[in-house]
Structure 1
Amino acid sequence: MSLIVRLRWTRVSAPLALVALLASALVGRAADAPLLRSKQSGPWSAKETWDAGRVPAAGDRVVVRAGHAVAYDADSKDVIRLVQVAGTLEFARDRDTRLEVGLLTVTYGEEPSEEGGDCHAVPGPPKPGAPRPALLVGTPEAPVPQAHTALIRLHHLPGMDKDSCPAVVCCGGRMEFHGAPLSRTWVKLAKTVPAGATSAALAELPGGWRAGDRVILTGTRQPGGAGRGPFEDGCQTEARVLTGIDAPVAGAGGPKGTARLDAAVTFEHYAEGSYCGEIANLSRNVVVESADPAGARGHTMYHRHSAGSVSYAEFRHLGKKDVLGRYALHYHLCGDTMRGSYVRGASVWDSHNRWVTVHGTQYLIVRDVVGYKTVGHGFFLEDGTEVHNVFDRNLGAVVSPGRPLPRQALPFDQNKGGAFWWANCLNTFTNNVAADCAEYGFKFECRKTADFDPVLPVRQADGTVKKQDVRTLPFVKFENNEAHAMRFFGLNLRGITRPDGFGSQKSFYDLNDLLRADAAGAHPDARRPFWVKNFRVWESNWSVHAGTSGVFLDGVDVFRAEYGIWRSVMDRHTYKNISFKEIRNKDLHMPFSIGAPAAEDETGKEYFRGIPGFVDNIPPSTVVTSVVRSGGKVLVRGGTADSSAVRGVAVNGKEARATRDNFAEWEVELDAPAGKLTVTAGATDRAGNVEKTPHTVTVD
């Protein structure tokens, strides 16, 4: 298409006219792109599938119409401008596939649209039994086999909005990404890997790792000291390529296997006793990536009333730097409509904007995910309304500082770089590791400001919504987490944000009054303190920092750090099983008090008697993650989270079997006659709390 431009300049309007004309021309390119619609179900590569009588080619816009199932069987370098799925697009599992595309959307609409972020109209709940649009890159029951790959490469094309495109977006449909499973996505090192070594001894033998896989060895030294020099210059996390995995010698003790590397490591990776670095696998056979990481990057997004999950898929070179809502993997304002969805075993690396973002979404399970290299917080809960999500056994390494995003929900967040960041504790954080972070391993941040009120609508156990001060809500569980190689904070609970003028002591003192005031303005229930259990932090600066009353540190192990517990509000705190070893400065540095209310006595509701008074008054939360039929049986799997011990999980009245401690994962086999089946799962804990809103799913 040629474009001839003739302009009559005026002093004021000419620049605006030029902008408008060029914008119009770019939009015209999109509108003029050839449009192909499916006319029947069939293979992508068959011309009979398409109304134009030909196979989609470079520059085309493609619509898979409702009621049509198209099998994507191509391995093509042609860049398709738009693929809009109103029917079903399913990637082949018997061959390698590749889709090069500008925008891939899963939506009920058949009118082509290039909006790459916000859905024009998010539909309500799907009608029972009604088909929904679906993108299937593997399924939970039938992932893409290890022998094959499925690749989606995202390209920015002329005329597309750089703040929205390229992208993969699900608007109320079903979107699945499932690659070949790994037994573990990351494992601990069995012994120290010295600088110059080309192999690493492993504490576990991970199944599914293969020669050619990308791996990282996490840093085990505090990066760059406290604020000295650029963060990235001090990181010691290293990427290598795996050349093989050696199994242990039969009958021999010691390591469970050895990873062989393509090149010698530059740094030592420490692993002695309880303090061990990690090796993680980044490679998966289902991949979503940006075609031009140095240019306009892509992003992915689930919207409300969508369905689908992610397992053992790789998301690389995604995330739009400094753009709100354009993250590598993003659950956007889904509420509880995606209960049952999960992100398991994925790798998200080299992101310019988060790894996994949970925004206004409940009941999501994020498990066994490896995050490597991001700008700004990695595992991120965005607006303070998120509850009953589970973050379990994830690894986050190399989090670089970002800056506040335009129009962000929480104005106080400086986006300085934490592996795990949240503003509402009513979630589960278990068995996670943070390494090599610019600012925080784990950060709970929420405060009242002139432009933000922390009293927010929060989903209750009975399914209703109630406004609560989210600064005071307890953890469902925070247990067995670890941070190492932290430039500043290992764990920061509602504490200060480090001032940019770090070298000035006065800047810290200036923050004390603000910290006291915010802590005094919101106390957790004395019966439900912020319970931190079995937290390990090593090679850090400020290991633990609390800016709130009502904290129970129940097992904290600090090793080779500048400080143990640093500059914390200590009212109504209880400490148990605290260990400090090789602390370079002070075990306990500058504790201070907000002062007890003058009218308080030992009967007052704010009086903190210690942890023996802990009360579990919140029911468990259960998620059904899988329902698989086989003959006349159905295997149901899921997970349950609770603050205390779970007594049991009942599925259609039958007790489930725990496959991990405390029913974190469980399964049960049921009789399943032909036809539609409704499955209801709910839990009871040992405190007698019965789940008020069990999870119910219906399958054909």
Structure 2
Amino acid sequence: MKTLPALIVALLGLAPLAVTQDGYTIRSIADGNWSDSKVWDPQRTPSAADRVLITSKTAIVYDVSSDDVIHSIRVAGTLSFSKDRDTVLNVGDIRVQPGMAKDAGSGVDDVEKNGESHGRGKHAKPMPGMKAALELGTSAEPVPESHTAKIRLHFIEGNDETKSPAIVCRPGGRFDVHGAPMDRTWVKLGASLKAGDETVTLSAEVSGWRIGDSVIVTAGPRDEEDLRTEEREIKAIEGKTITLNSPLKAAHQGEGEFRGEIANLSRNVVIESADPGGVRGHTMYHWESAGSISYARFAHLGKKGSLGRYPIHFHLVEDSMRGSSVVGAAIVDSHNRWVTIHGTQYMVVRDCVGYQSLGHGFFLEDGTEIYNVLDRNLAVQAMRGPRMKGMALPFDPNDGAGFWWANGKNTFSRNVATDNEEYGYRYDMQMSSQFDCNMPIRQPDGSLEKIDVRTIPIWRFEDNEAHTEGFYGMVVAANGDRQPDNAIRDEKMLERIRQVDWTGPDRSHPHTIKNLSIWDAHYAFRPHSPNMIMENVRLHGAIYGIYRPAFDGHVYTNLHISKVSAEPFNRGMDDASAQAGVISVDGLTFDHERGNQRKPLVQISDVNLSGHAATHFRNVVVNRSDQFKDGWPLINRGVGPRVPPITDGVPIFIHDYFGPDRDVKVVSTAAKDLMKDGKEYLEVASLTGNESLAAEVADVEWPEHLLTPVDDEPPATIITSVRIEGGAAEVRGVSHDNDKIVEISVNGEPATIVSSAAGVVNWSARVKPGADGLKALAVDDAGNRESTAHMVEFRK
């Protein structure tokens, strides 16, 4: 008697698939096209439910557009997508791994173990001399604009939904995904938009954008109840003008200093989940993988609440993928992050658009990541996601940051974060009884050294912007949120504040933030760490400007604050009103329309934790309306609780306030100790408030050497492209540094700098390959020379 499944097969006129001992139903036996039955054993083309093996030393070109759902594909040879036609592959799992296979599984079996242990050097080794590759285009020959290539990932009943569907690249495998290039994937708006508008003016012309493409116009004026980024399609495009398929519902700023963005979400190469409402897929690179991604769309991927199941995931690859990159990708509608760099160094992520994520978007996972470059990316709508079992950093609530990282030795440049639920940018590393932040960190010579990661300064953070955020523009956190935000009314609370662990970088290696713009946020900038250099910081249209700062070794240069309604320049530690050390602000401009005695532009810290805390200002400019000029003080006690201080007070000095060498000292009326210097303390119109007084003082020394930065770190160099033509190698790459790069060489020959911005140098060189391949390195203006150059070997 036939069983029901067998009867159904018989009625359909199909034979059940024969599964070999190693788990496959069909395998390649020669090079050729997927559609050619002669390259397969058995001699037919793969069909629904097949378990396919692309055998070692065979190369198959995928040249069909099929609705059949292939169960799984193991790529031990080469599987490349055709570039002369449209292709669609529907599949459960793809595993890229050389050698003979024992099973046809997904290849993600050990992720949980690695994700929890974070061990280094505990990896499966690639098989010598054997390579496997999955190619949807290559960097040299991307899928052309005239054609499309798509992989749709399906969950197959009976598979493990915590791991499948997936594309996984194992040691020795290469996974390349390259669509038609665009000169820009997103640009600033060129004119403001109002509700009902259908045409959008761009700030620059773009190439590679097409009619029918999906675009987003990022959020306009902030509304806590409604996120207003709007998605449309391109109906027409001419020069800098795009016509949308339907009118906009909200206004969007596109003129002047503060402007939104328009981004393209479409690509001609796509990897997506076939059922976004069901079991979603993910992709992963393992250690000793290879490959890069450019101008591809990753849509509806990421498994909600599942550790390690992300749209694009570099999993504990260390420096084994040095030279790989993600450029111009659109990561759309993710249920678990956009790009995750985990235990990985020397990665380039550039010109990518992340739109809609559960959990942090561009995410560096465990605090060992260094020398990575995140340049000119756009992060839109990273929303709160669930905490996940086994998370590397247990203090991370996964509450929705456009960019989130825990090790300062990475470069963030020219990025924009907008419309994210909690943060635009959050740097955070914490020590606790549950987590030891002394971790093995790669050193410039390639060795590992156990270091308290909190002491590693933010290496390069320059030309970044955050706007229209749910709460914070940027947070630099030394201890998370564990500092009590309570008024210090007694010795018990004072002792609690004194016990806060403020471990951070030292005064010779401070955090450095340059050219930061934050507008339209609740809390603009929270510099919650000691020893920070902050140059050219622009804060506009927020409720709080400099918020809850850890005032100790802060050096601000050119701080411009405008239209910050509640607390433009907060006192130390907010309601704790405590300051541990000296800070300086050289160049402070306020542009405000209205205020009152309870809302001064600058708040006085009441509690002097060290006994030598002080604040120094010079070159202060205040622009405010005459209506509020006299009733709105520049300096007064704080907005929150004003309790009697139980320590000495914290003075504020404004250098040259009354003229050259005529300084002013401003104190709280509650700080009686500060007024015992024999000076006459008076109310000064527009300067002091109802609980502050001022006296002219002389010979106050400017804290010139508050921080003493020393550059003793070499640059980092990444070769991103090599092409051999006529016996010479055309080499391109990226070098970055915490200061200025003055020399880049490839095999001893000087490279040509193609462009340079925010510390990131793009270069090229044409050299004769040496016997050992290529060697690229950089030198900075302090004379620091890379000791671990990027080496590229040529294998015969």
Return the TM-score normalized by structure 1: 0.88
Q: Aligned AA for 2:138?
A: T
Could you tell me which residue of structure 2 aligns to residue 350 of structure 1? 333
Could you tell me which residue of structure 2 aligns to residue 191 of structure 1? 191
Could you tell me which residue of structure 2 aligns to residue 46 of structure 1? 36
Report the Cα distance in structure 1 between the residues aligned to 2:495 and 2:243, rounded to whole angstroms: 53
Could you tell me which residue of structure 1 aligns to residue 594 of structure 2? none
What CA deviation, in whole Å up to 9, does each residue of 1:197-229 have, x standing for no partner? 0011111111111101110011032241xxxx5
Q: 1:690 to 1:42 in 2, by over 3 A?
A: same
Could you tell me which residue of structure 1 aligns to residue 105 of structure 2? 114
Could you tell me which residue of structure 1 aligns to residue 85 of structure 2? 95
Query: What is the DSSP-based 3-state SS (H/G/I as helix, E as strand, rest coil) of the residue aligned with 1:699?
Result: coil
Could you tell me which residue of structure 2 aligns to residue 254 of structure 1? none
Report the Cα distance in structure 2 between the residues aligned to 1:508 and 1:221, rounded to whole angstroms: 37
After superposition, residues 61-72 of structure 1 pair within 5 angstroms as 61-72=51-62
Would the aligned equivalents of 1:639 and 1:666 in 2 still touch at CA under 8 Å? yes
Q: 1:95 to 1:513 in 2, by over 3 A?
A: farther
Report the Cα distance in structure 2 between the residues aligned to 1:52 and 1:122, rounded to whole angstroms: 35
What CA deviation, in whole Å up to 9, does each residue of 1:48-100 have, x standing for no partner? 11111111000110011111111111110100000000111111111111110
Asked if 1:628 corresponds to 2:629, the answer is: no
Report the Cα distance in structure 2 between the residues aligned to 1:118 and 1:367, rounded to whole angstroms: 30
Q: 1:672 to 1:523 in 2, by over 3 A?
A: closer
Could you tell me which residue of structure 2 aligns to residue 163 of structure 1? 162
Could you tell me which residue of structure 1 aligns to residue 242 of structure 2? 259
Could you tell me which residue of structure 1 aligns to residue 737 of structure 2? 642
Report the Cα distance in structure 2 between the residues aligned to 1:114 and 1:514, rounded to whole angstroms: 54
Asked if 1:140 corresponds to 2:123, the answer is: no
Asked if 1:536 corresponds to 2:526, the answer is: no
Would the aligned equivalents of 1:636 and 1:669 in 2 still touch at CA under 8 Å? yes
Could you tell me which residue of structure 2 aligns to residue 124 of structure 1? 125
Higher mean alpha-carbon deviation, 215-224 vs 84-93, is at 215-224
Among candidates 221, 230, 235, match of residue 238 of structure 1? 230
Report the Cα distance in structure 1 between the residues aligned to 2:241 and 2:768, rounded to whole angstroms: 44
Higher mean alpha-carbon deviation, 523-532 vs 284-293, is at 523-532
Could you tell me which residue of structure 1 aligns to residue 787 of structure 2? 692
Could you tell me which residue of structure 2 aligns to residue 221 of structure 1? 221
Report the Cα distance in structure 2 between the residues aligned to 1:558 and 1:205, rounded to whole angstroms: 29
Higher mean alpha-carbon deviation, 627-636 vs 688-697, is at 627-636
Could you tell me which residue of structure 2 aligns to residue 409 of structure 1? 392
Unmatched runs of 5 consecutive residues or more in structure 2: 6-17, 112-121, 582-608, 614-702
Report the Cα distance in structure 1 between the residues aligned to 2:448 and 2:351, rounded to whole angstroms: 31
Would the aligned equivalents of 2:22 and 2:103 in 1 still touch at CA under 8 Å? no
Among candidates 491, 510, 522, match of residue 474 of structure 2? 491
Q: 1:517 to 1:304 in 2, by over 3 A?
A: farther
Q: 1:432 to 1:517 in 2, by over 3 A?
A: farther
Query: What is the DSSP-based 3-state SS (H/G/I as helix, E as strand, rest coil) of the residue aligned with 1:564?
Result: strand
- 1:466 Cα deviation after fit: 0.2
Could you tell me which residue of structure 1 aligns to residue 321 of structure 2? 338
Query: What is the DSSP-based 3-state SS (H/G/I as helix, E as strand, rest coil) of the residue aligned with 1:471?
Result: helix
Query: What is the DSSP-based 3-state SS (H/G/I as helix, E as strand, rest coil) of the residue aligned with 1:158?
Result: coil
What CA deviation, in whole Å up to 9, does each residue of 1:284-324 have, x standing for no partner? 11100000000100000000000000011110000000011
Report the Cα distance in structure 1 between the residues aligned to 2:540 and 2:303, rounded to whole angstroms: 37
Instruction: State the structure with bigger RCO (CA 8 A, min sep 6), 1 or 2.
Output: 1
Would the aligned equivalents of 2:96 and 2:175 in 1 still touch at CA under 8 Å? yes
Higher mean alpha-carbon deviation, 115-124 vs 295-304, is at 115-124
Report the Cα distance in structure 2 between the residues aligned to 1:292 and 1:595, rounded to whole angstroms: 55
Could you tell me which residue of structure 2 aligns to residue 104 of structure 1? 94
- 1:164 Cα deviation after fit: 0.4
Asked if 1:444 corresponds to 2:427, the answer is: yes
- 1:190 Cα deviation after fit: 1.1
Report the Cα distance in structure 2 between the residues aligned to 1:90 and 1:222, rounded to whole angstroms: 46
Unmatched runs of 5 consecutive residues or more in structure 1: 5-27, 248-256, 602-607
Could you tell me which residue of structure 2 aligns to residue 679 of structure 1? 774
Q: 1:39 to 1:628 in 2, by over 3 A?
A: same
Q: 1:524 to 1:582 in 2, by over 3 A?
A: same
Among candidates 664, 667, 670, match of residue 761 of structure 2? 664
Query: What is the DSSP-based 3-state SS (H/G/I as helix, E as strand, rest coil) of the residue aligned with 1:437?
Result: coil
Report the Cα distance in structure 2 between the residues aligned to 1:512 and 1:235, rounded to whole angstroms: 40
What CA deviation, in whole Å up to 9, does each residue of 1:344-370 have, x standing for no partner? 011101000000000000000000000
Percent of aligned pairs with the same residue?
42
Would the aligned equivalents of 1:519 and 1:548 in 2 still touch at CA under 8 Å? no
Asked if 1:35 corresponds to 2:25, the answer is: yes
Q: 1:161 to 1:590 in 2, by over 3 A?
A: same
Q: 1:211 to 1:585 in 2, by over 3 A?
A: same
Query: What is the DSSP-based 3-state SS (H/G/I as helix, E as strand, rest coil) of the residue aligned with 2:454?
Result: helix
- 1:519 Cα deviation after fit: 4.2
Asked if 1:590 corresponds to 2:576, the answer is: no
Would the aligned equivalents of 2:282 and 2:303 in 1 still touch at CA under 8 Å? yes
Would the aligned equivalents of 2:551 and 2:580 in 1 still touch at CA under 8 Å? no
Q: Aligned AA for 1:211?
A: I
- 1:632 Cα deviation after fit: 3.0
Query: What is the DSSP-based 3-state SS (H/G/I as helix, E as strand, rest coil) of the residue aligned with 2:521?
Result: strand
Higher mean alpha-carbon deviation, 136-145 vs 654-663, is at 654-663
What CA deviation, in whole Å up to 9, does each residue of 1:614-635 have, x standing for no partner? 1111000000000012223321
Q: 1:512 to 1:358 in 2, by over 3 A?
A: farther
Could you tell me which residue of structure 1 aligns to residue 304 of structure 2? 321
Would the aligned equivalents of 1:33 and 1:59 in 2 still touch at CA under 8 Å? no
- 1:513 Cα deviation after fit: 8.3
- 1:610 Cα deviation after fit: 4.2
Would the aligned equivalents of 1:426 and 1:474 in 2 still touch at CA under 8 Å? yes
Report the Cα distance in structure 1 between the residues aligned to 2:185 and 2:495, rounded to whole angstroms: 44
Asked if 1:149 corresponds to 2:148, the answer is: yes
Would the aligned equivalents of 2:714 and 2:784 in 1 still touch at CA under 8 Å? yes
Could you tell me which residue of structure 2 aligns to residue 547 of structure 1? 528
Q: Aligned AA for 2:45?
A: V
Could you tell me which residue of structure 2 aligns to residue 281 of structure 1? 264
Would the aligned equivalents of 1:316 and 1:349 in 2 still touch at CA under 8 Å? yes
- 1:339 Cα deviation after fit: 0.4
**How many corresponding residue pairs?**
646
Would the aligned equivalents of 2:429 and 2:480 in 1 still touch at CA under 8 Å? no
Query: What is the DSSP-based 3-state SS (H/G/I as helix, E as strand, rest coil) of the residue aligned with 1:55?
Result: coil
Q: Aligned AA for 1:140?
A: S
Q: Aligned AA for 1:529?
A: P
Would the aligned equivalents of 2:107 and 2:170 in 1 still touch at CA under 8 Å? no
Asked if 1:479 corresponds to 2:470, the answer is: no
Query: Rg larger in 1 or in 2?
Result: 2
- 1:567 Cα deviation after fit: 1.2
Query: What is the DSSP-based 3-state SS (H/G/I as helix, E as strand, rest coil) of the residue aligned with 1:561?
Result: coil
Higher mean alpha-carbon deviation, 102-111 vs 314-323, is at 102-111
Q: 1:508 to 1:221 in 2, by over 3 A?
A: farther
- 1:472 Cα deviation after fit: 1.5
Report the Cα distance in structure 1 between the residues aligned to 2:735 and 2:494, rounded to whole angstroms: 39
- 1:476 Cα deviation after fit: 2.1
Query: What is the DSSP-based 3-state SS (H/G/I as helix, E as strand, rest coil) of the residue aligned with 2:150?
Result: strand
Q: Aligned AA for 2:135?
A: L
Q: Aligned AA for 1:426?
A: K
Would the aligned equivalents of 2:430 and 2:478 in 1 still touch at CA under 8 Å? no
Would the aligned equivalents of 2:714 and 2:780 in 1 still touch at CA under 8 Å? yes
Would the aligned equivalents of 2:94 and 2:106 in 1 still touch at CA under 8 Å? no
* Aligned-CA RMSD value: 2.8
Would the aligned equivalents of 2:23 and 2:102 in 1 still touch at CA under 8 Å? no
